[in-house]
Structure 1
């Protein structure tokens, strides 16, 4: 696994929605309103689990979302979350995990298509203070560039870093930059779909994250 040959990992790059923040129920609740506004296919209740097994490009094809609309949809979704932010919470165990990593001297970064303001509000001041780098507003497929920027800003190479996310595109982005990836099974993508994508680690409990930084 990348990162093991040269010593302990020193950089954790987290996704936010579905990894640190339990936002999937909110996402499902607003999705069909967004579909009506932007003219793509609404999601039936019995389709949700099916879509959780698809990668982002297949979801776009299924819902008939043209790529040129993505920036407008993403911006609208950020605004909706800002409106509803009091209903979005961190997963249980996330604050303790961030504290544990910070205590070990691990640099904590977040790369997300969400806004910095939304992320800070959900984290709260105490947890937000533990995050040293934010790469926000990234496009749906723009994470590799953000990962490279985080490594440049921290001076920590790919073999001392790990990406932690809940979607198939998080695994793909990490591979693009030669970084290990831990997939988490409590977010947007189904566990079986994540496993089939063969991440370096597949986690099923938040408490397992700290173990990624053991010797």
Structure 2
């Protein structure tokens, strides 16, 4: 029975793709990587992260060093991230029903906090962040240890293959958010426990698990 519903942020709660591409392209033009065109978005969504890096002529090892540059661009833009349709209503319902909420993300904590404030969401118990994009399993375990939770006490919602893989490593169940960035042919290879094509499909999954 899940007590904590843990969300990825980018591509799951927030539609941050356009702004992140702007930030990446600004850096790519300066540092000599391949620029992302609109026509690249669909093929990129069907690639793994290493494949995307190869396609963009961007070394995978440079991701932790690129993250602060991208976050700086996001902060300076003052645009902020919009929630996907139905997300605010979902979060309000989960909170009303007594579930504890957390975020585990590769984004920066201050950017996430500002977005939550913009949407008048102030009820997340925990926001854990790391610029190391393949470390989510460690952050999940950190959350479980901090609140003395068993793996069955937590349920993760994320849109990427790496979210699903991290949950498998940490031993918790995961819902794949089908409205995010990773195409189904990429994400489903990692075998998520549940699939939600729209935010409104998450609550019935959570409710069913709570009575099972």
**TM-score normalised by length of structure 1:** 0.88
Structure 1 gap ranges (5+): 1-7
The structural deviation recorded for 1:145 is 0.6
Aligned equivalents of 1:119 and 1:65: distance in 2? Answer: 25
The structural deviation recorded for 1:184 is 0.6
Structure 2 residue 143 is the aligned partner of structure 1 residue 153: no
Aligned equivalents of 2:78 and 2:84: distance in 1? Answer: 14
**Aligned with residue 38 of structure 1, among 23, 31, 38:** 31
Structure 2 residue 49 is the aligned partner of structure 1 residue 23: no
Aligned ranges 1:1-215 → 2 under 5 Å: 8-124=1-117, 127-214=120-207, 215=211
Q: Contact conserved, 2:67 with 2:131, CA < 8 A, in 1?
A: no
Aligned equivalents of 1:39 and 1:142: distance in 2? Answer: 27
Root-mean-square deviation (Å): 1.8
The structural deviation recorded for 1:138 is 3.7
The structural deviation recorded for 1:94 is 1.4
The structural deviation recorded for 1:87 is 4.3
Structure 2 gap ranges (5+): none
**TM-score normalised by length of structure 2:** 0.90
